Chains A and B, each alone.
Chain A
Amino acid sequence: MILQMNNIQKQFDGLEVLKDISFGVDSGEVVSIIGPSGSGKSTLLRCATFLETIDGGEIQYMGEKAVHTDESGRTVYVNQKELRRFRSYYGLVFQQFNLFPHYSILRNLIDAPMVTQHRSREEATETAMDLLTKMGIADKADAYPFQLSGGQQQRVAIARALAMKPEILFFDEPTSALDPELTGEVLKVIRQLAEENMTMVVVTHEMAFAKAVSNRVLFMAGGVVVEQGTPEQVFDNPQEERTKQFLRVFER
């Protein structure tokens, strides 16, 4: 298991947003998370990436505990330095890209590997240029984020996450901020990564895409995983009424 989350609980001022969620991701797996807005999908990714602290449960990367709830019911994280080591296991692609506007595209890709992973400039640059080539934007290396379209910016964001050589990549609605005609180019690179067996967890509203690339689909609603299974199981033969209801909206 690359990632294992057990009995995750999260509240926002009394509101239970994640209710005892457990799920794991194996190496090479692509897991899609679907569900209505407000169901806790982003919160789950934010807990997995330590942007939010959990109120209860356990998170492991590569079999190592980053946080757990002890016998007395206290939820304990490893210290900040250890957490930063855990961060090198994963990357996160945001809905809003969050590129660094004052850095060129190349610098966006090489700064963190050089500063936080102490890689040499040569190595970081080589990795970065390979990734930009793969994303089809090598000619933009010296441009700045504001000069790129949304689809190009999101591909840079994916490349920036990959430049850290993570074991697993999380996507939170990577195409939701894009104009419809630009979603295709971003979905294409994610699909390409899936073909290369990159381990990924993708929160998405693109059902056709989820069906095509995932090994497993999780349907979340109201802070719980209502149903999960292969794309065929969840999309073609859902068992739960809530899943059927949700999918009907998309079929129209």
Chain B
Amino acid sequence: MTLETMIITMSSGMLEAIKIFTLTLAGALPFGMVIALLKKSRFFVIRAIVSAYISVIRGTPLMLQLLAWYFGPYYLFGFNIGNWRFPALIMGFICNYSAYFAEIYRGGIESIPVGQYEAAEVLGYTPAQTFNRIILPQVIKRIMPAVTNEIITLVKDTSLAFSLAYAEVFSLAKQISASQASFTPFVIAGTFYFVANYVVEFILKRIEKSMDYYK
């Protein structure tokens, strides 16, 4: 197998990795905010559930969570897992990353001085307006470095999809490497992750910079 064929064979895996990455972010970035806000709920029961959720997610390996999402429904309800692989994968990733984003958001929200809320309240903003216009923009600026770290980890974590034998870059690299007795597929995979991270970091740094106009 030539290098070119290897790359072409693996490119479908690259697309899959990008798909996992994009869907996870699209779900986890907003869902994390929901969790962060629920954790500040007035109701003890909600706070307790959310806290338990976050500790379970953070206290167990993502790979195990992916396996649980995939096999869990089958063992629990005898659910047919035919087309369940990809949804399970995405659910696992979103739920995992939401918990991490939630903690980052919560830290960011708590770092905003109470004077900002009070000034907004006296000026007649509703609580929702205060959050959206005054608090959230400042939170986003403060958490960008932490979010960037998390997103870069996600690029690499997409390789964990191989634990469900999902055909992304890393799984394909392993297959081709075994059949061709060659290490090259892993070099290609490594290069892919590196370049993807480089692009992601470049974009996130630009976003961070765009918020440099105030302190």
Cβ proximity bits A105-120 to B, threshold 8 Å, 1 near / 0 not: 0000001100111000
Q: Chain A: which residue is nearest B136 at the CB level? A: A102
Question: Taking the nearest CB of chain B, how far is it from the CB of A104, in angstroms?
Answer: 9
Q: Do B121 and A51 touch (CB < 8 A)?
A: yes
Q: Do A116 and B119 touch (CB < 8 A)?
A: no
* Interfacial residues of chain B within 195-215, with CB under 8 A of chain A in the complex: 213-215
Q: Chain A: which residue is nearest B118 at the CB level? A: A51
Question: Taking the nearest CB of chain A, how far is it from the CB of B136, in angstroms?
Answer: 10
Question: Out of B129, B134, B141, B213, which one reaches A100, CB within 8 Å?
Answer: B134
How many angstroms from the CA of A96 to the CA of B138 in the assembled complex? 18
Q: Do A102 and B141 touch (CB < 8 A)?
A: yes
Pairs of residues from A and B, 10 with the lowest C-beta to C-beta distance, nearest first: A116-B124, A98-B119, A112-B123, A98-B115, A146-B215, A144-B214, A92-B122, A87-B124, A102-B137, A101-B214
A-B contact count (CB 8 A): 60
Determine whether B40 belongs to the interface, using a CB cutoff of 8 Å to chain A: no
Q: Do B214 and A94 touch (CB < 8 A)?
A: no
Q: Do B124 and A112 touch (CB < 8 A)?
A: yes
Q: Do B133 and A98 touch (CB < 8 A)?
A: no
Cβ proximity bits A87-99 to B, threshold 8 Å, 1 near / 0 not: 1101110101011
Besides the known contacts A100-B116, A161-B122, 15 further A-B residue pairs in the complex with CB atoms under 8 A apart? A51-B122, A91-B122, A92-B122, A94-B115, A96-B115, A98-B118, A100-B119, A100-B120, A112-B124, A112-B125, A116-B123, A144-B213, A144-B215, A146-B214, A164-B124
Could you tell me how many residues of chain B have their Cβ less than 8 Å away from some Cβ of chain A? 21
How many angstroms from the CA of A99 to the CA of B138 in the assembled complex? 12
Determine whether B126 belongs to the interface, using a CB cutoff of 8 Å to chain A: yes
Question: Taking the nearest CB of chain A, how far is it from the CB of B73, in angstroms?
Answer: 44
Determine whether A49 belongs to the interface, using a CB cutoff of 8 Å to chain B: yes
Determine whether A244 belongs to the interface, using a CB cutoff of 8 Å to chain B: no
How many angstroms from the CA of A10 to the CA of B137 in the assembled complex? 35
Given A101-B138, A102-B214, CB of A116 within 8 Å of CB of B129: yes
How many angstroms from the CA of A67 to the CA of B187 in the assembled complex? 72
Q: Do B118 and A116 touch (CB < 8 A)?
A: no
How many angstroms from the CA of A84 to the CA of B124 in the assembled complex? 5
How many angstroms from the CA of A116 to the CA of B213 in the assembled complex? 26
How many angstroms from the CA of A51 to the CA of B134 in the assembled complex? 17
How many angstroms from the CA of A101 to the CA of B138 in the assembled complex? 8
Q: Do A87 and B129 touch (CB < 8 A)?
A: no
Q: List residues of chain A with CB within 8 A of the CB of B123.
A: 87, 112, 116, 160, 164
